[in-house]
Structure 1
Amino acid sequence: MNIVLVDDNPVNLALLGELVKQLDAGQAHAFSDADAALQWCLQQDPDLVIVDYMMPGLNGLEFIKRLRAESSRADVPLLMVTANAEVQVRYDALQSGANDFLTKPLDPVEFLARSRNMLALRRGQLALAMRASWLAEEVRRATQEIVERERDTIFRLSRAAEYRDPDTGSHVMRMAHYSKLIARRLGLTSDDQDILFRAAPMHDIGKVGIPDQVLLKPGRLDQPELEVMRDHARIGHEILQGSPSPVLQQAAVVALSHHEKFDGSGYPHGLAGKKIPLQGRIVAVADVFDALTTERPYKRPWSLEKARGYLEESSGSHFDPDCVDAFLGAWDEVLAIHERFQPVAQV
């Protein structure tokens, strides 16, 4: 342990050094200059500081005040050396942060006893700090495992709906990353970006409730079939709502609102402009862009430039202009996401 000795008297300093050797508890660092001692204490890790009161320049009281002003040194055990008559100095030292006192002339037995007490206190502090650090790391790991399990479950659930559409999991991965990209560009916090990233893939979970003859029809849907298909927004919301999970709560909002249009012509409620939840406005851009550029049984994929042109043309009518600008303003990242999450070729 690091034991710091501060006294301008070389004889006293030598005596303190000899007594510290008897503690057999660590290394002594002796300073006759209080300013130099203070700088060492602020830059290194002292475990016990023994400081004299009467010193030229920086006296013991001021030394204590400056040391305690540093939050990381607020708990370092500190002994002040004073004379018997200096009662008021002791009071002031206690108020400044001294833990105990040594009385001049030094009594070796008293010095060893009080120093050992202070070092035992320090060992307890360090052990408690290590325990707290270990517990914090364990909590972090456990929390991360829960988050990863939730994320895996959500993506698997999302893929279940996609397989009925049919499609592969690459769609939900791309549109989730597109959604997070837009959220970041709009200035959402990292936590909000992450929640949306995990919630977005569940936007079409309601399709599990759509009959196969409608969901899997290769041609254009007639009006009654279209009404049945549109009901997947309500079904998805009913599946997801009421959960205590922030991710599922947001997923419920996304499921219900991602087919609303900025001009009010969307469904299921015909919301317009900012009345559409932001998450729904973001996912609308991400989902439509990826749907356009993805091959389906009933259509060929659009080129990326053609899909980009559609977003630009539909900005302000179908889509929130801010979301479109955020998406297209990071076009290089869009291309990277599109390239990264491609379906694995089947052998």
Structure 2
Amino acid sequence: MRAIGAGTGLREVDKHAEQVYLFVPMTMFGESGPDGSSASGMRTGRGGADTAAVHVLLVEDNAYDAGLVRRLLASRTDPCFELAVARNLSEALAHARGDGCDVILLDLSLPDSSGTDGLQELALALPRTPIVVLTGLDHEHMAIQALRHGAQDYLVKGNHDSSLLSRSIRYAIERKVFQGILDQRAHFDSLTGLVNRALFHDRLNHALAQAGRARKRVALVFIDLDGFKEVNDTLGHETGDRVLKAVAELLCGIARNGETVARLGGDEFTIILEQVDNALNVAAVTQRVLRAFEMPLAIGETKVHVTCSVGVASFPDTASDAESLLRQADAAMFGAKKSGRNTVQVFGEIS
């Protein structure tokens, strides 16, 4: 990699990847946190712990336009930017998934995508990364479509200066951070951090749709704590909340990577098991759940012993849709409670 003087910054050209990087001193976004991120969520730059940079990925196949963006960003020192250039959508996806970025500047006319198709693909693949459209298409309808498909802003080439471009990038990042906070509150349980009931239903419907197309099986494990009311009554609701958090951690440790663990409310939890081969796979999971509750939970200096009743239902063995699957798993869980608690009951048969 060779360094070439570039205005107020330093330009480095990676001759193998043919990507351009800018390094300019950072003067805003606050101090870095213990994880290397700043107060605004920016990562610590490659210049060291005291030099944080906004990592920008420009998706642009026109060398002249890419050079113009490079010069505009190089003139900014508040904040500084580190720029990588991808010439098409495929390169952009590979770079974002590999090296990562804080924001994407996207041209809508690329060799392998046009219009909002590329925008939609990027937004779907990188839901946490803000995207600013930077295009030569000065078209109000296109701008509206871009915003509807996930863009944070729409800039027309030649109609912006370095100040506007810098401000658009900063605002896009801040809006995305705020959007992430709202999404977190809307889709995740505030106490345990698990998927909440609303997102659980979305995940379950999605899992069943995929299983139906692939002719696969989905099992739903419904877990209800035994005697949790007594825990709240004797030890207090604060301890009860800490028990729920500990249970959430236990269940996340049992679930495989990518499987959904949800808290439906109160002391009710679920695990969505996808691509289940047979009943033995489900039995292995439910037995791990029961074994996890054999040891008392350490809540501060207090040892709290709780057990659970588990119900299981399967698609398409007994249920044909998400509503019936949840209803059957719930019924099986109540059957387990009636049969003595701390046990598993399966609705129907899983082949």
> Please, what TM-score do these two structures have when normalized by structure 1?
0.39
Relative to total residues, which structure has the larger helix share, 1 or 2? Answer: 1
Relative to total residues, which structure has the larger strand share, 1 or 2? Answer: 2
> In terms of Rg, which structure is larger?
1
